[in-house]
């Protein structure tokens, strides 16, 4: 069994966790922030899944092409998700503080 299976399962669980929180949230900025976090988890999941296949599956040209697509796609989603996460974090904190003071 591959060592990378454990991070793959954990990242997929984080993706599902953040998507569930996204659908349960009522605050608009928090939804965008949670969406960014789920994008990071999904991107890392796809990237590590590709690396896992690169290391432990048969090596043919088709495998290399598909793995390259997975790694590039996962890296792109992770990068975009991280940029969105950094952008929405201060707004989400501000929105949460406003929500607490209203109660």
pLDDT at 78: 95
**1 vs 59, which has greater pLDDT?**
59
Question: pTM score, two decimals?
Answer: 0.87
Nearest one of 67, 48, 68 to 7, comparing CA atoms: 48
From residue 15, alpha-carbon distances to 45, 65, 94, 100 in Å are 9, 25, 24, 27
Per-residue pLDDT band at 18 (split at 50, 70, 90):
very high
Query: What range does the domain containing 39 cover?
Result: 5-102
Give yes or no for a contact between 14 and 86, defined as CB atoms under 8 angstroms apart: no
Per-residue pLDDT band at 101 (split at 50, 70, 90):
confident
Tell me how many domains the chain contains: 1
**1 vs 16, which has greater pLDDT?**
16
């Amino acid at each position: 069994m591959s060592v990378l299976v454990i991070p793959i399962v954990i990242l997929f669980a984080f993706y599902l966790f953040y998507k569930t929180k996204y659908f349960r949230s009522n605050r608009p900025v928090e939804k965008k922030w949670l969406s960014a976090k789920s994008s990071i988890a999904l991107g890392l999941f796809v990237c590590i899944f590709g690396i896992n296949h690169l290391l432990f599956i048969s090596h043919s040209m088709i495998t290399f092409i598909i793995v390259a697509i997975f790694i590039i796609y996962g890296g792109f989603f992770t990068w975009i998700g991280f940029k969105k996460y950094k952008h929405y974090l201060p707004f989400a904190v501000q929105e949460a503080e406003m929500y607490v003071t209203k109660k």
